[in-house]
Each structure stands twice: as structure tokens, then as C-alpha cells.
């Protein structure tokens, strides 16, 4: 069956998987909704997007995604409030960032209406897939990859833009213990660390696996040159609280301009929490852990929102972070999720209703 929503062609699935889903026990990103948005770039322009049944993709073995890694993505969530209204959180920031990432990887940039109208049409078709139970959301994964063929080392001439969605529960459960990396780097000056490029994450898996084998759950990434500065926590931005001051590193070629990161900074400042955006050395964090002034560390990103860190390892020594009451992490996470789910006022204009 075909229809039109927001000028987007809708080809509906003849069947649904929704009745087979236990919405009270959702893993993160394991179950996928009935439909997806699909849009092709060919003949020098993006073609009209359309919503189609969720399905596999057929590619030629010479498709350049397999050989030269032109791939970027975003992470977003949709929420349903008590009145069945559907909300997004700062979606235009995701649109802007996927184009920033695309430009760095020589991928053609998307028109805003293709991204936003396509996303809204997809959510309208699959709105029953948006969970309303506490702590759950519809995770949204927009991505673009090189579908054009050829072994020549050059940008592709064809690309595919897709948005898939997955009803999901919490990304992490409980605090995580991390290892401060002393050898491997996530990214480098002049590189693509600021972009949400697939290869950035592929390069993280091996060092993270080594950390897991040592009893940690994640890696704290340090700068590529000296490994003296704290930069990111796994696939998230990182915040460190020393005494009452919240500290995070400045964005750069190496650090992703996280949407949750920006929101935490703005929200904390509005609550008169001292915030410093500056370079933070490993030595400063270790000293703070030793003298008791290190009160909190946490990762920040779309999937987990905020993920508390219970301790870290460095140069063969472990440092535990003593649990305290009324943490910034719990306060800020609740403030953000209450805004996201329409349980609180949004003085920042971050919440976006899907109509």
C-alpha cells in the first residue's frame, strides 16, 4: 500500500513484527521497526526519499563502502509522553552534524527537508513502535554510505542515505570501570575524530577489547601525541567533577561535538554549577583521585545520556571514586530526560514535537 506523508512516498509493509516484541524487556538496538527511510544519490543529486519496509540491502562487491570506508552516521531518539505526543531532542543539530561529517569524508551533503521531513514521515508510519515505558525510547540511526562501484581510490559517484529505528531500553546498566589508554589513539589532529565516521568506532574496538580482558568495561581516550590529556570515554564525551567544578575538554579535530555534551554544559551553567571547558591532564585526575577531590566522572552521549564511572585504571594502578549523594550525573540526567520526555519545562527550546 502506498501513501504520501510530508511529500514523502510511503510504501507500507504488508505485515508487522510489533506483536512479537516484548516492550518491557528491550535490549539496546536489537529489534528493528517495520519501516525505514531510503534515499539514493546518483546522477549528481539526491533523489526523492521514500519510506519502505525494513529490508536488506544488495550491493556490488566493488561498492566503495567496502574498500574506502565512506560512511557516516548519527544517533537520535524519539520519545512518547503521557499524552501520546512524540518528541525529538535537538534534531536539527543531528542534521547539521551529519553534513559536517559528510563533508569531511567527501560525501554529498543532504538537503534539510529530506532529513527532517523524511524522519517525521518515518516516525508517523512507525509511531506505534515508540515505547512509552520508563527508560525506553525509539533509537534512530540515520546513516550514509558509498554505494557506487569501483576499485579506484576516489570518492564514490553514488551514495545511499537510510534511517532505521529500533525500540530500545537502557544502553548501560550500572556504573562502569574504565582504563586510561596509554598507547592507542582514537583520533589525531587533522583527522576525522570530530566526524561520526564508522571507521572511528572500528578503530576503538581492539583497544577496548584489551581493556575488557583486564577487567574494565571501557577505555578513556587520551591525546594522540603525548597521552597526557583526557579526551573521550569510549564512544562518549567525558566529564570530570573535581570538588564542585565540572570539567570537560574542548572540541577539536579529535573530539566529537556531542549534542548531549553541549546540553550538559548549558544546563549545568543554568543551574549555577561551575563548568570549565579546558584541557584536562591525566596527572590532574590521578592527583584528584588520590587527594579525594575527584567526586565524579561520567560519559555523555545520545545512547546512554549519562553513564557514571565508578573508577579507573592507570599505569597498573586502580583508583576508585567514592560514591556520594546528590551527584551531578544523576541530577543532570534527570533534568535532560525530563525535558526529552515532556515531563518538565524546556527553557532551552531543545524539544521538538513531531506532528
Contact 220, 194 (CB under 8 A): no
pLDDT over 70 at 173, yes or no: no
Q: For 214-260, how does the pLDDT look when each residue is reduced to its tens digit (9 = 90+)? A: 999 999 999 999 999 999 999 999 999 999 999 999 999 999 999 99
Three cell numbers written together for 346: 524546556
For residues 166 and 139, what is the distance between their CA atoms, to the nearest angstrom?
Answer: 5
Query: What's 128's DSSP letter?
Result: G
Query: What's 39's DSSP letter?
Result: E
Q: For 121-166, how does the pLDDT look when each residue is reduced to its tens digit (9 = 90+)? A: 999 999 999 999 888 999 999 999 999 999 999 999 999 999 999 9
Residue 293 pLDDT class (50, 70, 90 cuts): very high
User: What pLDDT score was predicted for residue 174?
Assistant: 73
For residues 139 and 229, what is the distance between their CA atoms, to the nearest angstrom?
Answer: 32
Q: For 71-102, how does the pLDDT look when each residue is reduced to its tens digit (9 = 90+)? A: 999 999 999 999 999 999 999 999 999 999 99
Q: For 27-71, how does the pLDDT look when each residue is reduced to its tens digit (9 = 90+)? A: 999 999 999 999 999 999 999 999 999 999 999 999 999 999 999
Burial (0-12, 13-18, 19+ Cβ within 10 Å), 55: exposed
Relative to beta strand 305-314, strand 176-180 is parallel
pLDDT over 70 at 104, yes or no: yes
User: What pLDDT score was predicted for residue 19?
Assistant: 96
Contact 91, 116 (CB under 8 A): yes
Instruction: Return the number of other C-beta atoms located less than 10 Å from residue 215's C-beta.
Output: 10
Mean pLDDT taken over the chain: 96
For residues 195 and 238, what is the distance between their CA atoms, to the nearest angstrom?
Answer: 17
Cβ partners under 8 Å of residue 316, min gap 6:
none
Give CA separation, 199 vs 69, 70, 110, 271, in Å. 7, 9, 21, 37
Going along the chain from its start, the domains and CATH numbers come out as 2-168 (3.30.470.10), 176-340 (3.20.10.10)
Calculate mean pLDDT across residues 341-346.
97
Percent of the chain predicted with pLDDT > 70: 99
Burial 284-311 (b: 16+ CB within 10 A, else e): bbbebbeeeebbbbbbbbbbbbbbbbeb
Cβ partners under 8 Å of residue 330, min gap 6:
308
Three cell numbers written together for 100: 559536517
Cβ partners under 8 Å of residue 311, min gap 6:
177, 178, 318, 319, 320, 321
For residues 125 and 32, what is the distance between their CA atoms, to the nearest angstrom?
Answer: 14
Where do we find the cell 587533522? 190
Amino acid at each position: 500500500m502506498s501513501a504520501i506523508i510530508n511529500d514523502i512516498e510511503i510504501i507500507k509493509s504488508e505485515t508487522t513484527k510489533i506483536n512479537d516484541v516484548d516492550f518491557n524487556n528491550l535490549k539496546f538496538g536489537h529489534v528493528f521497526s517495520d519501516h525505514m527511510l531510503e534515499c539514493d544519490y546518483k546522477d549528481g543529486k539526491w533523489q526523492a526519499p521514500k519510506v519502505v519496509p525494513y529490508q536488506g540491502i544488495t550491493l556490488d562487491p566493488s561498492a566503495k563502502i567496502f574498500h574506502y570506508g565512506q560512511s557516516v552516521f548519527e544517533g537520535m531518539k524519539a520519545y512518547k509522553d503521557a499524552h501520546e505526543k512524540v518528541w525529538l531532542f535537538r534534531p536539527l543539530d543531528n542534521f547539521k552534524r551529519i553534513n559536517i561529517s559528510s563533508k569531511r569524508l567527501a560525501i554529498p551533503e543532504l538537503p534539510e527537508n529530506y532529513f527532517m521531513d523524511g524522519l517525521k514521515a518515518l516516525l508517523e508510519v512507525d509511531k506505534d513502535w515508540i515505547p512509552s515505558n520508563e527508560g525506553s525510547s525509539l533509537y534512530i540511526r540515520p546513516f550514509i554510505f558509498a554505494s557506487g562501484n569501483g576499485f579506484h581510490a576516489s570518492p564514490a559517484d553514488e551514495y545511499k542515505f537510510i534511517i532505521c529505528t529500533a525500540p530500545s531500553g537502557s544502553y548501560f546498566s550500572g556504573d562502569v570501570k574504565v582504563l586510561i589508554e596509554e598507547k592507542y589513539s582514537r583520533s589525531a589532529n587533522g583527522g576525522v575524530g570530530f566526524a561520526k565516521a564508522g571507521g572511528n568506532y572500528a578503530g576503538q574496538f581492539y583497544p577496548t577489547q584489551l581493556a575488557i580482558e583486564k577487567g574494565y568495561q571501557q577505555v578513556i581516550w587520551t591525546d594522540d601525541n603525548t597521552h597526557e590529556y583526557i579526551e573521550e570515554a569510549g564512544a562518549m564525551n567525558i566529564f570530570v567533577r573535581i570538588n564542585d567544578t565540572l570539567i570537560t575538554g574542548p572540541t577539536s579535530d579529535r573530539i566529537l561535538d556531542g549534542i548531549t555534551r553541549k546540553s550538559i554544559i548549558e544546563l549545568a551553567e543554568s543551574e549555577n554549577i561551575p563548568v570549565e571547558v579546558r584541557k584536562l591532564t591525566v596527572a590532574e585526575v590521578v592527583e584528584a583521585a588520590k587527594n579525594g577531590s575527584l567526586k565524579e566522572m561520567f560519559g555523555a552521549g545520545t545512547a546512554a545520556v549519562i553513564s557514571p564511572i565508578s573508577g579507573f585504571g592507570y599505569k597498573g594502578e586502580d583508583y576508585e571514586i567514592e560514591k556520594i549523594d546528590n551527584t551531578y550525573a544523576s541530577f543532570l540526567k534527570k533534568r535532560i530526560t525530563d525535558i526529552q520526555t515532556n515531563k518538565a519545562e524546556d527553557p532551552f527550546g531543545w524539544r521538538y514535537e513531531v506532528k
